[in-house]
A and B are shown apart, each in its own frame.
Chain A
Amino acid sequence: MVLRAEDIHKSYGETAVLKGISFEVGRGETKVICGPSGAGKSTLLRCLNLLTRPDRGCVWLEDVELTSPSVNINEMRQKIGFVFQEFNLFNHLTALDNVMIGLTRVKKMPKNEAKRIAEEKLLTVHITEDLWNKYPAQLSGGQKQRVAIARALAMDPVIILYDEPTSALDPHLIGEVLEVMKELARKKITGLVVTHEIGFALSVADEIMFMYDGRILERGPPKEVVFNPKYEETARFFKRISELYGVRR
């Protein structure tokens, strides 16, 4: 077990966004969370690395309870990679520096070692050397997101959380990012992905969790949940999504 969420609740004012979410992600697994907008998927992901604090419930990372007040959350976050929908690359740093900064400033690694790791991870996500010294504003959306994935990878996390990683991308750039994510999944890098990209789920995910109205309504192997859903809401959602997105290779 790498990550476990136990009965997560979160409300904003009067609105309850998460109404008791529980699940587990095992080592090497890739799990996908999908569901209609407003179901609380992004909120859930941010609760998992405590960027948002849940009102109730626990989050466990391996054998450490993240939600416990005595835990050093900054230390723990180093083990959780997070990829944002809006990339959030550091604007004042080149691609290479973006990947290195977690290593040099947070992990206090010597610069040349950090550089070596950063370059390796950038190549893993197919970002070639000619882009290493470019600033985020000079990169395409797909390149930015891949650099963001490299930044997360460089920290050697035990799990990577992806928050709708392709939703902000132009359609023709989505494929290159999904391809990288699929490769990581095949390499058994533990991942939890919030996405609409059903094709991705169908090809590499071990489990899909369908979120509806703040709860996980259904979960199971992707082919089952997508094509043989038990609930009507699930069926409706996947029918609509398949129409909109198709199954992407």
Chain B
Amino acid sequence: MSFWEVFLPALLRGFIETLKILAIAAPISVAWGVVLGSARVYGNRFVSLLAAGIVGLFRGFPLIVTLLIIFFGLAELGIYLTPFWAAVLGFILCSGAYQSEYVRGAIRSVDVGQSLAARALGMSKTQELLYVILPQALRRALPGISNEIIYMIKYSSLAYIVGVVEMFSVSKHFNSLYFRPIEIFFTVAIIYLAMTTSATISFKLLESKLRIPGLEVEV
């Protein structure tokens, strides 16, 4: 069998593994980012301080360190996660922290009059957040959030360090076996490029679909 006949199927399996990680981690990280960002603005002093601490921690630690802590460090405490779930958890915590900053900024950028009108109607704080603030804030946060998702696509390659057999892991493995670095890594590079580019285009489409006149980003 030629090199490519062996490499490409393996690469495909790695690609699917990468997709699996992203399919789970991306949406949950957005949800977590919304929770953290909302907590920092709407929470009481303890909650918002706690959220700020979490954000500071997971933004400050390099993602790779976070991954290693979750997989190897937690094992010391008796918590054993599989490589896949350790990676997914790491991406959620790290990306969610970055996303929460965009969410927080967006929430704060919504005019205070919107809150006043919501409360004047008799809405509770939760209803105000869910029905009035977040629909507007999330539209404003979308560019930042999509940026973070695209980062996640690229940094998914780091999952190899905890043993996930995703795309980069496959390419690294094949390079040590066959030593054809340019072919192998350039192919992988192109695939990642295709992923990030199509994600960028998809998000731009999403932004224009969700656009509401008058709700553009204000500085």
Contact = CB atoms under 8 A, between A and B. Distances in A.
Contact flag (A, B; Cβ within 8 A): yes
A51 B116 contact: yes
A102 B117 CA distance: 10
A132 interface: no
Contacts of A136: 214
Interface string A134-157: 011110000000001001000100
Interface in B117-133: 117-124, 127, 131-132
A106 interface: yes
A160 B120 CA distance: 11
Interface residues of A, number: 29
A92 interface: yes
B114 A88 contact: yes
A74 B120 contact: no
Q: What does DSSP make chain B's interface, helix, strand, loop or mixed? A: helix
A77 interface: yes
Listed residue (B120, B139, B213, B215) with the most chain A CB atoms within 10 angstroms of its CB: B120
A78 B122 contact: yes
A181 interface: no
Given A91-B212, A135-B214, A105 B123 contact: yes
Helix, strand, loop or mixed for chain A's interface?
A: mixed
A75 interface: yes
Nearest to B135: A92
A51 B119 contact: yes
B124 A91 contact: no
A74 B122 contact: yes
A148 to B, nearest CB: 8
Contacts of B127: 105-106
B29 interface: no
A105 B114 contact: no
A49 interface: yes
B214 A137 contact: yes
Contacts of A81: 120
Interface in A89-141: 89-92, 101-102, 105-106, 135-138
B214 A91 contact: yes
Instruction: Determine which residue in A74, A89, A91, A92 has the highest number of CB atoms from chain B within 10 A of its CB, and name it.
Output: A92
Contacts of B139: 92
B127 to A, nearest CB: 6
A74 B136 contact: no
A137 B213 contact: yes
Interface of A: 49, 51, 74-78, 80-82, 84, 86-92, 101-102, 105-106, 135-138, 148, 151, 155
Interface of B: 111, 113-114, 116-124, 127, 131-132, 135-136, 139, 212-215
10 contacts: A84-B116, A88-B114, A88-B117, A91-B136, A91-B214, A91-B215, A92-B136, A92-B212, A106-B122, A137-B213
